[in-house]
Amino acid sequence: MQYSAFFPTRDIGNDPAKIRDWAQAAEAMGYSDIEVADHVLGAAPRDGWAPTYNENDPFHETFTTMAFIAAVTSKVTLTSGVLILPQRQTALVAKQAAEVDLLSGGRLRLGVGVGWNHIEYESLGMEWKTRGARQAEQIAVMRKLWTEDLVTFEGKFHTLNAVNILPPPVQRPIPIWFGGSADAVIRRCARIGDGWMPILAPNEAGEAKLAQLHGYLREFGRDPATFGLEAWLRMDTPDEDLWAKAVAGWKRLGAKRVMLYPMYRMPNFDAQIDTLRRFMDMVKA
């Protein structure tokens, strides 16, 4: 099993030296991936709607942060965890991803989602209601831009006429993993994804969702054994017993990667490093 480190974007602060030191510590401890979350805009509560993260939560820009981490590490995979793809211009995402992949020597894994924040979509000038269909077409367009010398494409959301991306990425195509656990997302993931990154507990509900994924994979003629599965362990407290139970549960369900996803705050840099160390010590014990 491989272990991913969740970049503490809300708590790391603005000192580039601390971002470098955190990333290098994660790599030195044996983490396979560093995953960088995504929000372009913070949104204040309104009209009875309360965001999961609000205007007081800082989020470092995903691609820029991955590029910076690529420059100060040598082997860890850089992962967007997850990029809200439909609220962005497709060709621009393809270009940014290709550049990070190139500059990192082929170390990018693109995690994508459709998001939960309709205010962010509205503010970025993107349509909320069509985000699922748009995401599917975006992935088709990006893969063409990453693998073909000249792309012409006509779809519902995109028109490309003899265009390309240079320089191309090292990986052609870059692997795309899906976040989210809605039925439509799971089906789309099984049809066009390279892996799944759910935030679920390894209980009956999580097992049912995994069975649903496997059913869709077989429907689309894909082998579940070769499809990626990374479990995100969203935790509200730094309880190592809960961590261990979640890791063991996802091992039983066949996950090849897990990531501790702390929801509690860690404003102290030493605590951020200690969390990396404690989790790795626990899984190696």
Q: Is the dihedral of CA 284, 234, 9, 140 positive or negative?
A: positive
Residue with token string 């609000």: 54
Looking at the structure of the chain, the number of domains it has is 1
For 224, half-sphere exposure in the C-beta direction (CA atoms, 13 angstrom radius) is 14
Whether 21 shows a pLDDT value over 90: the answer reads yes
User: Binning pLDDT at 50, 70 and 90, where does residue 285 land?
Assistant: confident
> Which pLDDT tens digit goes with each residue over 156-185?
999 999 999 999 999 999 999 999 999 999
Whether 131 shows a pLDDT value over 90: the answer reads yes
Whether residue 197 is contained in a domain is answered as: no
Residue 218 and residue 224 in contact, taking contact as beta carbons nearer than 8 Å: yes
User: Binning pLDDT at 50, 70 and 90, where does residue 193 land?
Assistant: very high
- Cα separation, 223 vs 217, in Å, equals 7
Whether residue 86 is contained in a domain is answered as: yes
* pLDDT value of position 214: 97
Q: What is the pTM of this model?
A: 0.97
Whether residue 6 is contained in a domain is answered as: yes
Residue 225 and residue 269 in contact, taking contact as beta carbons nearer than 8 Å: no
* pLDDT value of position 48: 92
Helices (H), the chain: 16-29, 62-72, 90-103, 118-123, 131-147, 183-192, 204-219, 240-252, 269-284
Average pLDDT over residues 57-78: 98
Q: Which two tokens stand for residue 220?
A: 């689309």
Q: Check which CATH number belongs to the domain holding 257 and give it.
A: 3.20.20.30
Whether residue 214 is contained in a domain is answered as: no
Whether residue 51 is contained in a domain is answered as: yes
Residue 250 and residue 257 in contact, taking contact as beta carbons nearer than 8 Å: no
- Prior bond to 283 cis, omega within 30? no
Domain span at residue 149 reads 2-184+233-284
Per cent of the chain over pLDDT 70 is 100
Whether residue 81 is contained in a domain is answered as: yes
Average pLDDT over residues 112-128: 97
Phi and psi at residue 238, to the nearest 5°: -80, 60
Whether residue 209 is contained in a domain is answered as: no
Average pLDDT over residues 187-204: 97
User: Binning pLDDT at 50, 70 and 90, where does residue 187 land?
Assistant: very high
Helices (H), 179-268: 183-192, 204-219, 240-252
